[in-house]
Amino acid sequence: MWKFVTGKLLQYVIVIMLMLTLNFLLPRLMPGNPLVFLAGEDVGFMTSKEKEAILEKHGLNDSIVQQYGTYLKNIFTGDFGFSYQQKRPIIELLKERLPWTMLLTGLGLVLSTIIGVLFGTISAWRRGTKTDANLLTMFMFLSAMPSFWVGMILVSVFSAQLGWLPVFGAESAWSNLKGMDRFIDIVKHLILPLTTLVLISVTSTFMIMRYSMLNVLGEDYIMMAKAKGVKEKVIKYKHAMRNALLPVATVFMLSLGFTLGGATVIETVFAYPGVGRLMFESVLSRDYPLIQATFLIITFSVVIANFLADLIYPILDPKVGKHNG
Amino acid sequence: MSTVLSVENLSTFFKTDKGIAKAVENVSFSVDEGEMLGLIGESGCGKTTVAQSILRLIEYPGKVVAGSVYLNGKNLLKATDSDLTGLRWREISVIPQSAMNALNPVYTVGDQIIEAILLHDNVNKKEAVERTKKLLELVGIDGERWKSYPHEFSGGMKQRVAIAMALACNPKLVISDESTTGLDVLTQAQVISLIKNLQKKMNLSVILISHDLPMVTSICDRIAIMYAGNLVEWASTEEILKNAEHPYSKALLNATPDLSNPEREVTSIPGSVPNLVNIPTCCRFHTRCPYAFDRCRQETPEFKEIKPGHYVACFLEEEQNG
């Protein structure tokens, strides 16, 4: 087992190093003056001395190897650079945004997986019946709706007309709420974006689970379990669901990697202060260091999620792991 | 000898888009204590449907529409779900078609055998483990391997595990449903002789479903031959070999090479099996029967005893013997 883990770990360290190197090279391979990226349009009004000072400050006069060394050191000490548009260190921005994104997309992923799995199982178990047909229609309908539209409808009904829930943000600004009150405030702000996220993402899990469960129910070992006299509930959950969950687990792990990237559209519609919106803002304002940092976060989390999947999969599926470790 | 299982006029139909497929119609036979019955016929003739009907495993769109199945006097087709739970595996168990897929890939083979034991017998986990080890030893697998997963076994070993599982609760009757499909000839022979030995040792009644006539004739006490959902002939192995009456049985015997008489020509049966959907009343073999006459195309011949213990469904026999 440990040999397997360290082997995998080594693989991922190599992947991360490659990724960091690419991230380092990318802006240096792009055409144009680095000054434009660093100082923006103002560069035209600068004196050569000022330009020199900026290059010196960012170590751009050093050799490429030295620059690479500094870059790695900075990344590993948590220094992702400085956002010129927001006038703040990027690590501060990330620290501010990441928790909200993790709350929204993490919870969204967990909820849509649970709901999808549950209804997918029911649908497959009653294949061909009215329940199955209704569920299938409902989930297809959900997946056909664009997320910004669902978000806007929810806002207009529950916030604008009924006034039950807040329109935007992750919590009330300048309210100084503490403890339980703050928690309730946060939950209230979370409900609409979370609902939107779950509504538009639940269908894929449902479809995968339903299809996978249908396949498993046709397997001989299910009939064997029946012939053995195993109770229906036990067949459903112990024998069928356990096997049918494997593809869902794969998709879950893949999506987990992207949760830190946030849900750009939904965060924008609800003005939710997550990483997705940060990325959107950084692209709009051509804030290159920030774009780089957010992309780096996403790649990091994808790699970490893959590593987790590699660790968890052998536990879920005995066929995986032992032999390719 | 007492009768363990008796199947009377069993009919199982399947609903299809094009109509009713009469997969099994009017099938009657019985199995005595300690007897090995060979149920034989070509692919798609309803052998597995008979087995599943007996085990009450037929599901929509299939349905057992008529008949009765008595296991030690109890009608299985009328048994309630809780009756069935009690009967399954303790009285009747199955070695399934393609044992490769009959074991759940995410649980150890031991867990799957133990599940059956704990479900039916009042023993604790430790005793169940001990019995599982003994069962594995019985079929020639190291008992300590109960902790292995199905994918860690070869095909032949999985088949042995399936046999061990079928015997877990000392059943009276075991249905072996083409359980050697997909194995190489050598392993097939080993598995079959294992089943035969265990059957003698434990005085089991076995229904051996197969399409391998020479194999069945070499180990079974009686043979029932199926064609297109009907039972056409049922007699002792000796009687079938010497005095087969039904044209299909004769054709089947002629279609298999005979090692003791290599000069004899092997002849195939011309034509193909009729479509069972909306099949009209007739002898279902008439389209391929060289002796078919008008009556065969209009009536279904009755399955009746022509000599003690020898049953045939054919008009020819009637014509000849009055």
Pairing of strands B173-177, B205-210: parallel
Q: How many domains does chain B have?
A: 1
Contacts of B113 in chain A (CB under 8 A): none
Q: Decide if B75 is inside a domain.
A: yes
- Contact of A312 with chain B, judged by CB distance below 8 Å, is answered with no
Q: Decide if B159 is inside a domain.
A: no
Size of interface A-B (CB pairs under 8 A): 63
What span, in angstroms and rounded, lies between the C-alpha atoms of A118 and A162?
31
Is residue A139's pLDDT more than 80?
yes
Q: Please report which confidence band the pLDDT of residue B51 belongs to, taking 50, 70 and 90 as the band edges.
A: very high
What span, in angstroms and rounded, lies between the C-alpha atoms of A303 and A148?
29
Q: Helix, strand, or coil here: B304?
A: strand
- Contact of A317 with chain B, judged by CB distance below 8 Å, is answered with yes
In this prediction, residue A31 carries a pLDDT of 67
Question: Which of A220, A227, A318 is facing B55, going by the closest CB pair?
Answer: A227
Name the residue among A270, A255, A277 with its Cα closest to residue A101: A277
Q: Which residues contact A21 (CB under 8 A, 6 or more apart)?
A: A68
The minimum CA-CA distance between A220 and chain B, rounded to whole Å, is: 5
In this prediction, residue A179 carries a pLDDT of 76
Predicted ipTM > 0.85: no
Domain boundaries defined on chain A = 2-77, 90-316
- Contact of B119 with chain A, judged by CB distance below 8 Å, is answered with yes
Q: Which residues contact B78 (CB under 8 A, 6 or more apart)?
A: B68
- Contact of B149 with chain A, judged by CB distance below 8 Å, is answered with yes
Q: Mean pLDDT of all residues in chain B?
A: 89
Q: Which residue of B has its CA nearest to A244?
A: B106
Tokens for B310?
């020898």
Q: Decide if B125 is inside a domain.
A: no
- Contact of A218 with chain B, judged by CB distance below 8 Å, is answered with no
Q: Decide if B314 is inside a domain.
A: yes
* Cross-chain Cβ contact B84/A225 below 8 Å: no
- Contact of A126 with chain B, judged by CB distance below 8 Å, is answered with no
Q: Decide if B157 is inside a domain.
A: no
DSSP string, A213-247: HHHHHTSHHHHHHHHHT--HHHIIIIIIIHHHHHH
Quick: pLDDT tens for B66-123. 999 999 888 988 888 888 888 888 899 998 877 778 899 999 999 999 999 998 888 9
Give the domain CATH number at B290.
Answer: 3.40.50.300
What span, in angstroms and rounded, lies between the C-alpha atoms of B6 and B69?
6
* Cross-chain Cβ contact B119/A239 below 8 Å: no
Question: Which CATH architecture describes the domain A90-316?
Answer: Orthogonal Bundle (1.10)
> Domain of B36?
3-80+175-181+204-321
Contacts of A227 in chain B (CB under 8 A): 55, 57, 88-89, 93-94, 96
Sequence-ordered strand ranges (E) for chain A: 82-83, 88-89
Question: Which of B57, B84, B119 is facing A223, going by the closest CB pair?
Answer: B57
- Contact of A62 with chain B, judged by CB distance below 8 Å, is answered with no
The minimum CA-CA distance between A315 and chain B, rounded to whole Å, is: 10
Quick: pLDDT tens for B194-225. 889 889 988 999 999 998 888 899 899 999 99
Is residue A325's pLDDT more than 50?
no
Identify the residue with better confidence: B284 or A4.
B284
Q: Are B55 and B175 in contact (CB under 8 A)?
A: yes
Question: Which of B85, B101, B103 is facing A229, going by the closest CB pair?
Answer: B85
In this prediction, residue A38 carries a pLDDT of 65
